[in-house]
Structure 1
Amino acid sequence: MSTHDVLLTGGRVIDPATGFDAVADLAITGGEITYLAAPGKETPEAETVVDATGKILAPGFIDLHAHGQNLTGHRLQAFDGVTTTLELESGAAPIRSALNWSAEQGRPLHYGFSAGWLHSRILVMEELEDKADALDPLPLDSWASLQHLQSWRGEATPEQIGRIVELTAKQLDAGGLGIGMLLGYAPGTCAAELQAIAELAVQRDVPLFVHARRGGPEGLEELLELSRSTGVQVHLCHFGSTNSGSLAESTQLVLDAYAEGLPFTTESYPFGMSSTVIGAAFLDPEVMKQTGRDPRRIIVLETGEEIASYERLAELRAEDPGTLILGRTYDERIPEDRAALQQAVTLKDAAFASDSMPVKPASSGCMAGLENPTDIDEWPLPEGFVVHPRATGCFTRAISWLARDAQALSLSEVIARSSTIPARIMSRAFPEFKRKGTLQPGSDADLVVFDLESLTPNEDFTRVEPTTGVDQLWVGGVQVIEDGQLKPEAKPGRALLG
């Protein structure tokens, strides 16, 4: 009888990909799952045996939408059960900078980036292509640092469109996992440019990961028609937050798209509070006035300031358009809003995805010795940092709220939306993902072990705390969390490339 590296015994194994849900023994050898069977057969031999009695074993969660792509962001997501974290909505350009930086530092989780269309657009329209390598390697921070520029927000010329497409294609050549389209941040983009990017995606047989140009049915219908006319695979980011004002109509549009057979998928995060840069086009005070949105629903992340007026919003946007804010898309203090949020995030066949943000200093004091919070390597994380808690507890909140407490979804379905469905979305274009999102022998040894009853996601916006209740985490067969404690030296994550 062969000897396995690790044997987990007595846990409830849930594998939505196959419908397996039973108390079973599971073994890992190298980077693969090599044994799965219900107790009663001869127990296999293993160098290490882990008693998982009373715990849940599930495929490691796959986050399609994570901006916190530094070491701290990875470590926080490990406690959320994540084994693969991908920056697909924004993407990166130059992608080699993000990949090289990640590889040089090492990462505890698998990672990857899409080809960043908006990054490419800014580099072209602001004539910065020769300065691209000097930008911050964390894509969200490099993008935020360019928010003060204006040319990229308008319509591109035909010559510029050609260069944008060419630069985006180069990012695909460098390993981009599809094309990230922050369309909502450049609403002046013309139909010809959108069509050209869709045609590039079709030519390369890769998906678009899109932040819609506008919220509600109008933005959704534009993307559905794009998929219908070109055949491009479209993944709509954060359905819940983008369609909060038109939930019933937008839900029906998605269900109709499924029925039509369009290659269309979507995702949501289980929080009523959103987060982005204050310079976003849809946070323009004049736009907000026209749509009747209250500026008091916007909170500055680093200071906690609730923006009292449109005038104050304009002032803060002028001071630093890259400042991170929180926005009350659904006010969870109001029962009707919380019910609407639950309806949004339980949309049929939608994945969960965090839209995680990088941690930021709440004060200059916690930055001692650091030029940039991107560089933090200390664990536990020092006091004085803040982040939207979707960076620390997206998937565990979905489990604890929607499955355990509200029973709006079964535990198996929440796990599927966190692992199996994201793997299926990616595997259409990238076959490597067929080995993820399942616990069957021969699949990648990416798995999470958690205590359902004690699972407590961090929901605090004022301090950064890891989720508790995730007991064990393996990434590529290497243990990253052991008995609820991070192994800081463990950096088995590898780059996933297109």
Structure 2
Amino acid sequence: MSKFKLSLIASALITLVACADSTNNSSLVADVNQGNNCKFESSPSNIQFDSVIVNGRVMDPGCGFDDIRNIGIKDGKIVAITKDSIIADKIIDASGKVVAPGFIDFHIHTNTEFGFNLLMRDGVTTALELEGGTYPLKGWLADKSEKTPVNYGASVAHSGIRAAVLDGYVHPDGNLIEATLGGDLAKNFQWSVKVSNTEERQQIVELIDNQLQQGAIGLGITVGYYSNGASSPEIYDVIKATGKYELPSFVHARFSGQKPPTSGYMSLAEVISAGAISNSPMVLQHFHNQTLSETRDAIQMFEDANANGIKVIGEVYPYNFGNTFMFADFLQPENYGPGFGRSYEDIIHPDGSRMTKESFDALLKKAPQTPVIFYGAQEADMNYAVSHPSVIIGSDAGPLFDMTTGKFAAADADPKNVKGHPRSAGSHAKVLRMAREQKLMPLMLAISKMSYMQAQFLATSGISSMHNKGKVQLGTDADLIVFDANTVTDNADENYAAFATTGITDMLVNGVQTVKNEQVISGVNPGQPVFSDLKK
């Protein structure tokens, strides 16, 4: 059994046991501390803290620690976790609330102040563009330097490099979602339909290697959008290029649906096998909306892979409907109907109207880059995936649009006029609410699936700086959230996609407070870039 698999099992067991007796768990904490080198301090020396969080229920999924403590922070790090009284000029009173590691989201596509504000209200302290990725990385990072409130990083985008090689198109800021929505990539389809020749494949591999050397967090593969263009040998070659450095691949797999031969389940097997052979750890993103009724079978495949030393993890968002572009391969009628068991009425226009064959055909011809909502997995399959101990949570947060201007929502946009997918605003709070109201999982496990498990996956996959995140322990980064476990609620839905989460009252990123009393502190940008260990 792989060390990664054992780590996930241990984390799940610790969180389950800790939650079973959160009122008297001192012996558990002692045992866990000894076994996992967890670091806690009972009697801090005379430290002049930058800020303190007092009287909170500290929950650390790394060790299963769950008890009332005070936390001292200095120079962006946690330097005290104690029952003793501690003071500082900046004090957050967390009485009656949980103090937990900030959430780490592998799956974001937002690039606006409005979008980041919603993510912060939802508890996200590290927002990574890993599924879609970016190209070129340098331009993308420059666009975010010193003006991003959360930690940030990206994979190298297979799709963006295909566009560079096959179409000669490079977005100056590496923002491929913006390029698609702007029509550049939606109107020039060579990157999505052309099968690369041997020379072109070699160019693609060389460019990926170059971006990995610059510190990209692995490779983002969205072959679900170019399933007829990228051959299986090309997919193998690009994963092999990533596995050369034992860096991870983040995959939106080739097919979506449950009808053979182009089932979502089969497309997962394609990339898992490539990762296993080439030693590239694998994240299968939003897989439940690809495997649908075969979601439980897919999770079993991940479990079996890990049991045999193949590092694979599945990711889902807590919704049974997704958000994509009209031109997406999997949304076309020949696939969506028979493959998903859905109809045109299950596709929703940005204005909220349900599609018909006529409106679908007209919009696909006129504006193929239009973002739409589509229904996929059934509720029971989604709930099973959301609550499974080895599955992580990612939002797939995308751009939101102000319907009064027709543009990306500005920072001061009225949420009532903003459309998109509610996952951009409430994915993490929804998981916490589901844990509370539906009893899907213990609270500690829910927190772990949104913080610790992500950090551990990256930390053991060539991004060692992530060892300091996803935990509430001495010496770890002070990326922390404070929330009311009894009231935390997602407020966004299909009709009002930009209604912010309530109940997450405070947030610190690298020790700097960015949310206070449920209000984002404007102009505070302590976010730092996340690089792979290849970054010189």
Query: How high is the TM-score relative to the length of structure 2?
Result: 0.85
Residues 398, 414 of structure 1: 8 Å contact kept: yes
Equivalent residue for 1:327? 374
- 1:177 maps to 217
Q: 2 CA distance for matches of 1:173 and 1:373?
A: 33
> What's the counterpart of residue 418 of structure 2?
385
- Equivalent residue in structure 2 for 1:100, among 142, 150, 164: 142
1:247 paired residue number: 295
Matches within 5 A, 1:300-315: 300-301=349-350, 303-309=351-357, 311-315=358-362
Say if 1:211 and 1:237, in contact at 8 Å, map to a contact too: yes
**Structure-2 change in CA distance of 1:51 and 1:444 (3 Å):** same
1:460, CA displacement in angstroms?
A: 2.3
Q: CA offset at residue 466 of structure 1?
A: 1.0
Task: Evaluate the alpha carbon distance shift between residue 394 and residue 28 of structure 1 in structure 2; reply closer, same or farther with a 3 A threshold.
Answer: same
Contact 2:285 2:316 in 1 (8 A): yes
Residues in 2 aligned to 1:312 and 1:281: alpha-carbon distance in whole angstroms: 18
SS at match of 1:242: helix
Aligned length: 473
Call closer, same or farther: CA 1:7–1:160 in 2, change over 3 Å. same
Q: Are 2:344 and 1:295 equivalent residues in the alignment?
A: yes
CA RMSD of aligned residues (A): 1.7
Q: 1:394 aligns with which of 411, 414, 427?
A: 427
Structure 1 contact 64–88 (Cα < 8 Å) conserved:
yes
Task: Report the Cα distance in structure 2 between the residues aligned to 1:36 and 1:443, rounded to whole angstroms.
Answer: 11
- CA contact under 8 A between 1:366 and 1:385: conserved in structure 2? no
Unaligned runs of 5+ in 2: 1-45, 257-263
Percent identical = 29
3-state DSSP of counterpart to 2:88: strand
Pick which of 290-299 and 440-449 moved more: 290-299
Q: 1:408 to 1:171 in 2, by over 3 A?
A: same
**Is 1:410 aligned to residue 442 of structure 2?**
yes
> Which residue matches 2:177?
140
TM-score (norm 1): 0.91
Q: Report the CA distance between 1:252 and its aligned residue.
A: 2.1
| Contact 2:348 2:374 (8 Å CA) reproduced | yes
2-structure distance, mates of 1:137, 1:202: 23
2:202 to 155, 159, 162: 162
Amino acid at match of 2:177: L
**Cα displacement (A) at 1:193:** 0.9
| Alpha-carbon distance in structure 1 between the residues aligned to 2:437 and 2:169 | 50
Alpha-carbon contact 2:385-2:391 (below 8 Å) kept: no
Are the equivalent residues in 2 in contact too, given 1:92–1:114 (CA < 8 A)? yes
Q: What are the Cα deviations for residues 438-497 of structure 1, in whole angstroms up to 9, with x where unaligned?
A: 010100010000011221212322332111111100001110111111111211112212
Deviation at 1:137, TM superposition (A): 4.9
Counterpart-to-counterpart distance in 1, 2:111 and 2:72: 30
Please name the residue that 1:6 is paired with.
Answer: 51
Residue 382 of structure 1: CA displacement? 6.0
Distance 1:231 1:203 in 2: 7
Rate the CA distance shift 1:253–1:382 in 2: closer, same or farther, 3 A: closer
Secondary structure of the 1:418 match is coil
Instruction: Describe the SS at the equivalent of 1:35.
Output: strand
- Aligned equivalent of 2:451, options 419, 422, 447: 419
Matched, 1:69 2:111: yes
Match of 1:345? 386
Q: Return the match for 2:265 from 217, 220, 235.
A: 217
Once residues 415 and 203 of structure 1 are traced to their aligned partners in structure 2, the CA distance between those partners, rounded to angstroms, is 32
Question: Cα–Cα, structure 1 residues 253 and 484, in superposed 2: closer, same or farther, change >3 Å?
Answer: same
Alignment of 1:459 onto 2:492: yes
Q: Which of 93, 98, 102 is the matching residue for 1:56?
A: 98
Shift of 1:379: 3.7
Offset of 1:380 from its aligned partner? 6.2
Q: How far apart, in 2, do the equivalents of 1:177 and 1:406 lie?
A: 35
Decide which of 455, 462, 479 is 2:513's aligned counterpart.
479
Q: Secondary structure at the match of 1:456?
A: coil
Q: CA deviation at 1:71?
A: 1.9
Which deviates more, 228-237 or 311-320? Answer: 311-320
CA separation of 1:241 and 1:289: change in aligned 2, threshold 3 A = closer
SS of 1:243's partner is helix
Equivalence for 2:190: 151
Structure 2 residue 319 is the aligned partner of structure 1 residue 271? yes
Q: 1:235 aligns with which of 266, 283, 289?
A: 283
Is the counterpart of residue 280 in structure 1 residue 310 in structure 2? no
Question: In the aligned structure 2, how far is the partner of 1:314 from the partner of 1:196?
Answer: 36
Partners in 2 of 1:280 and 1:320 — Cα distance?
12
Residue 138 of structure 1 deviates from its aligned partner by: 3.2
Determine if the alignment matches structure 1 residue 21 to structure 2 residue 66.
Answer: yes
What is the alpha-carbon distance in structure 1 between the residues aligned to residue 296 and residue 281 of structure 2?
Answer: 23
Contact 1:240 1:345 in 2 (8 A): no
The match for 1:470 among 504, 512, 534 is 504
CA displacement at 1:350 relative to structure 2:
1.1
Q: Measure, in 2, the Cα distance between the counterparts of 1:416 and 1:478.
A: 22
